[in-house]
A and B are shown apart, each in its own frame.
Chain A
Amino acid sequence: MATQLGEPAAAARGAGAIGRKELRSAQVQNGILYDIRALEVFFPVRQSFFKSMVATEKRWVRAVDAISFTIGAGEILALVGESGCGKTTTGRTLLGLERQTGGQIFYKGLEVGRFSPGATRDYRRNCQIIFQDPYNAINPKHTIFDIVAEPLLVNHLVQSERDKEERVVRALEEAGLRPARDYLYRYPHELSGGQRQRVCIAGAIVLEPDMIVADEPVASLDVSIRNDILKLMVAHKRELGVTYLFITHDLSLAWVISDRIAVMYLGKIVEIGETEEVVANPQHPYTKALISVIPVPDPTAKREHTVLSGETPNPAAIPSGCRFHPRCPEVMESCSQTEPSDVQVRGSHYAACLRLGGAQ
């Protein structure tokens, strides 16, 4: 997707590792925290020994296939899509848990791939993650105190015991666990799922990061407590200025709290824009289908359900042209030959569909 940034400052200076000092003094430019350009994350397909000898070319799973988007500072951007679309891989690549095989990630104008090892360590602190399953995301043998204090310990950020305890207590309270002292010496299995997820959030907040990647943070929780976690994310955005990358398969949840939505399909972003705009005025057939099938608590609502047939194809065998064309209800002749590029619909709302006019 087109970005609002000009050429990033670092690239203009020429090649060379970016050091810690530079990273420390970097600022958010034009309100954009992350500028991702043509990001590619491919995984090699595992082949049997014999096949790998006789195969002529390596097959790749194109989990994330040249996507470009920006993340504004202090916003909640939702990455929405079904399983296998690459949204989780994207989030993890931003954190450094997966390796990018192509493209560039710019953080505050500096290219992440060119950080020195020291700068990479510092950078990793600024981007934290909350996992989906609070039952497994924290070590069951550690106390809550240990879990939340671990990031501080591991990054040598505290000088004394008292300092550590203060920061842990503050993080727990910001995550809504009050009074924090009651929770410090408990074990995860003594807490409910919602409380555990709050502990995970506290563990992410304690480093005071710029961005938190939330990977399906409420999927494992009861419906009646989801809102607490979602409200927490919004509160952090507003009061602490934390940017959230909200990864979810549930478009209606994304609609509730995010500022912008990016819809992904099979490794590509098919539509991106402000939430209300995208949901009220979807342009891509996939987005339209998704919105039409989402169930709502209203039995009297009568609307067309565009139920797509078949399932998402295997990312190792991506269809030619527009990768959505085999299932698209509005498919045309040219869709199987040409891959669409992003077309501006209105303002910051973009969609990648040949019907809107974009052609490679």
Chain B
Amino acid sequence: MSAGQIPARLRRWILIWTPLIWLVLELVLFPKNRPLSSGFAHVMGGFVDPRVASYPAWTIALACVVLAAAAVAELRARRKSPRRALTLLAMAAVAALWALVQMGFSQFDLTGRSGGYSWLFQTVLLICAAVLVWIWGLDNPERADLFVWNTREMWRIYRASWQGVLGLGILVFFCGMALLAPFLVNHAWLSPDAEVSATAFAPPSLHHYLLWFGSDEQGLSVFAEFVWSSRISLFVGLLATVITTVVGAGAGIFTGYYGGWFGEIGMRVTDVFLVIPWLPFAMVLAAAWGQNYAIIVLIIAFTSWAGTARLVRAQVLSVKELAFVERARAIGSSDLHIMRKHILPNVMPLVFANAVLTVAIAVFSETTLSFLGLGDPLNFSWGTMLEHVFDTGATEVPTATAYLVAPGVAVVLVVLAFNLVGTALDEVIDPKLRKREESRSRSDEGAGERLLPLAGGGGGTVEGVVEAPSGAVWTGPAPELAPGQEGSGP
């Protein structure tokens, strides 16, 4: 493959995934009052609605700063052509403009309608990002090829596990339901006066989709509540996990890498957060900070980051002792470089697998907190639905069975799905957990399609199958296993 030619697969992936990501981003904040039944034009209008992509101004400002910093780093790298740096600069400029508009400086608004074009800014930024990936692919065709091959390998291994496929299927179903909620059910059906049945706890019936699960104590559609709850439950779970993982992994890496006083103090701080009983703590925080889902996200992150930190720290402690870290030190790397280039990549698989399980826990925590009445009383999540079920005595009413069962089953399925995905990811990450045939094909003498015949270089130390060296370090071991190396030297 010659330089300057992007691998075909990567090209295809960019072309497919960019619109998909755009769609997802649009749907996250899609206006709630344009269901399919209101007509095609109305629904399409939702994509350019002012509410789409209306993130708080500070997040956009933060993105602008990050982009500007990346642009500066690119400029300093002095590559053959400045197109990467220029793209990043353009992105930073667009983000800056967007942030100013969001903050209310309407003089930067070119159309006169304040804040109405967030979706446009988002679209432009996304296209620029796609262009950036394209440029990277053009400049580094070998690396792009490697990346594509690695990803396909991982997917191939993941696909081979039925747990992974099942879990992913369930997740796709629920995420689809969450994202497409505005199309499926008009949010108006959740307002207190939008009853679908005259009586409370009407039994489920098939003649209208809103009555598939019957009605609740106020006569509102349980189905509508169920669909819209999925958004809150999943969104809260995912956001809380992102914060937990970033903070926890960061804390774990720093305290693990720097031993001594810093590490000890860091660990004690982590321990404090670990031993606090999370439920009373969460209740106190909710009482103090208020009841809305942003707070719940923070509460869940607050109580979960320590677990991740501890896990990551343990892994960092063993990765730190490996020979290549020592080599990095010997060639004069700074601590930050070692943490970024050596420790982080070897810890990432663990972090990722842990994150998947954390989402399950976060969804579960959110359900618990909402069930106990700490959720937002104005919004619906599965936990809130369960709270209503118990508070209004629906457990005694036989026709309200669907009302009781649906949210419970949903939570169980989602948590189960994340656990299944986590299990499958473990197999992708750690070759020791894979079946023997899989790991054999990755060994030095494996007949992988990528291996070109290597000329010269001398013979190998490849042992026979029985004596195979377990180069297991390269993919990061499962949490309980220490990276075992069986060197034969004295």
Contact = CB atoms under 8 A, between A and B. Distances in A.
> CB–CB under 8 A between A and B in the complex?
yes
B473 A194 contact: no
Contact of B489 (A133, A154, A207): A133
Contacts of B454: 182-183, 191, 195
B486 to A, nearest CB: 9
Contacts of B260: none
Contacts of A131: 323, 326-327
B474 interface: yes
B332 A124 contact: yes
Contacts of A138: 324, 327
Given A83-B490, A133-B489, A154 B332 contact: yes
Nearest to A213: B330
A97 B330 CA distance: 7
A256 to B, nearest CB: 17
Contact of A133 (B146, B452, B487): B487
Given A143-B146, A176-B457, A219 B490 contact: yes
Nearest to B451: A190
Contact of A222 (B328, B330, B451, B459): B459
Given A136-B323, A220-B487, A220-B489, A188 B331 contact: no
A37 to B, nearest CB: 23
A184 B457 CA distance: 14
Contacts of B330: 95-97, 124, 128-129
Contacts of B485: 133, 135-136
B324 A190 contact: no
Given A83-B490, A194-B458, A137 B324 contact: yes
Interface stretch (A11-19, A156-164, A277-285, A350-358): A156-164
Task: Report the interface size class on chain A.
Answer: 35 or more
Contacts, number: 157
B470 to A, nearest CB: 9
Contacts of A8: none
Contacts of A160: 78-80
B333 interface: yes
B458 A228 contact: yes
A161 B80 contact: yes
Interface in A251-302: none
A18 B332 CA distance: 19
Interface string B449-480: 01110111111111000000101011100000
Interface of A: 83, 95-97, 121, 124-125, 128-129, 131-133, 135-143, 150-151, 154-155, 159-162, 176-179, 182-185, 187-195, 198, 200, 203, 207, 216, 219-222, 224-225, 228, 249
Interface of B: 78-80, 142-143, 145-146, 322-324, 326-334, 337, 341-342, 345-346, 442-444, 448, 450-452, 454-462, 469, 471, 473-475, 485, 487-490
Given A182-B455, A185-B146, A220-B488, 8 more contacts: A132-B487, A136-B322, A141-B346, A154-B331, A160-B78, A190-B451, A194-B458, A198-B457
